[in-house]
Amino acid sequence: MAKSVDVLVIGAGPAGYIAAIRAAQLGFTTACAEKWVNPKGDNVLGGTCLNVGCIPSKALLASSEEFDKINHHVAEHGISVKDVSVDVGRMTSRKDEIVGKMTKGIEFLFRKNKITWLKGQATIQGQNNNLIRVQVGEEVVEAKNLIIATGSKARHLPGVPVDNEIICDNEGALSLKAVPKRLGVIGAGVIGLELGSVWRRLGADVSILEAAPDFLAACDESVSKDAFKLFTGQGLKIQMGVKIGEVKKSAKGVEVHYSTASGSSETLACDRLIVSVGRVPNTDNLGLESIGLATDERGFIPVDDHCRTKLSNVFAIGDVVRGPMLAHKGEDEGVMVAEIIAGQKPHIDYNCIPWVIYTSPEIAWVGETEQQLKAEGRSYKAGVFPFAANGRALGMGESEGFVKILADAASDEILGVHIVSSGASDLIAEAAVAMEFKASAEDIARICHPHPSLSEVMREAALATDKRALNM
With beta carbons less than 8 A apart as the criterion, state whether 176 and 38 touch: no
Least Å from the CB of residue 90 to ligand NAI: 24
Residue nearest to ligand NAI (CB): 189
359 binds ligand NAI (CB under 6 A): no
**Nearest CA among 55, 43, 125, 152 for reference residue 96:** 55
Does 184 interact with ligand NAI (rule: CB under 6 A)?
A: no
Chain positions contacting ligand FAD, by CB under 6 A: 10-16, 33-36, 47-49, 53-54, 57, 121-122, 149-152, 170, 191, 282, 286, 318-319, 325-328, 330, 358
Shortest Å distance, C-beta 253 to ligand FAD: 22
Q: Is 435 in the site for ligand NAI (CB under 6 A)?
A: no
Q: Give the interface segment with ligand NAI, choosing from 230-238, 247-255, 322-330, 413-421 (CB under 6 A).
A: 322-330
Identity of the residue, 11 or 416, whose beta carbon is nearer to ligand FAD in the bound complex: 11
CA angle, corner 135, sides to 133 and 140, nearest 5? Answer: 70
Choose the contact partner of 12 out of ligand FAD, ligand NAI, none; CB within 5 to 8 A by kind.
ligand FAD
Q: Which is nearer to ligand FAD, 276 or 465 (CB)?
A: 276
Q: Which of 192, 196, 281, 401 binds ligand NAI (CB under 6 A)?
A: 192
| Contact residue for ligand NAI among 106, 179, 277, 462 (CB under 6 A) | 277
- The percent of the chain in helix, strand and coil, each rounded to the nearest 5, is 35, 25, 40
Q: Does 59 bind ligand NAI (CB under 6 A)?
A: no
Compute CA 41 distance to the chain's CA centroid, rounded to the nearest angstrom: 26
Nearest to 256 by CA among 264, 265, 241, 245: 245
Closest CA to 29 of 338, 343, 336, 346: 338
Q: Which does 267 bind (CB under 5 to 8 A by kind): ligand FAD, ligand NAI, none?
A: none
**Calpha distance 422→461 (Å, rounded):** 16
Active site residue 451: yes
Find out whether 24 and 8 touch, Cβ atoms under 8 Å.
no
DSSP H or E run through 256: strand 254-259
Pick from 55, 143, 188, 373: which binds ligand NAI (CB under 6 A)? 188
Cβ-proximal residues to 402 (8 Å cutoff; 6+ apart), any chain: 222, 226, 384, 385, 386, 387, 419, 420, 421, 457, 461
Question: Judged by CB under 6 A, does residue 429 bind ligand NAI?
Answer: no
Contact in structure between 15 and 151 (CB atoms under 8 Å)? yes
Binding status of residue 161 toward ligand NAI by CB under 6 A: no
Pick one of ligand FAD, ligand NAI, none as the site partner of residue 187 (Cβ within 5 to 8 A by kind): ligand NAI
Q: Determine, following the binding rule CB under 6 A, whether residue 330 of this chain makes contact with ligand NAI.
A: no
CB contact set of 363 (below 8 Å; sequence gap of 6+): 216, 219, 223, 227, 355, 356, 357, 419, 420, 424
Q: Which stretch binds ligand NAI (CB under 6 A): 137-145, 208-216, 283-291, 369-377?
A: 208-216
Number of residues that bind ligand NAI (CB under 6 A): 24
CA gap 357, 55 in Å, rounded: 14
Hey, CA dihedral for 184, 185, 188, 194, is it positive or negative? negative
Torsion of CA 143, 43, 46, 166, to 10 degrees: -130
**Is residue 445 within 8 Å of 463, Cβ to Cβ?**
yes
48 interacts with, out of ligand NAI, ligand FAD, none, CB within 5 to 8 A per kind: ligand FAD
C-alpha 164 chain-centroid distance: 20
Per CB under 6 A, the list member of 15, 186, 288, 463 interacting with ligand NAI is: 186
Amino acid at 145: N
**Residue 357 makes contact with ligand NAI by CB under 6 A:** yes
235 binds ligand NAI (CB under 6 A): no
With contacts defined by CB under 6 A, name the span among 14-22, 129-137, 276-284, 458-466 that binds ligand NAI. 276-284
Site for ligand NAI in 210-229 (CB under 6 A): 210-212
Active site residues: 451
Contacts with ligand NAI by CB under 6 A lie at: 157, 186-192, 194, 209-212, 244, 276-279, 324-326, 356-358
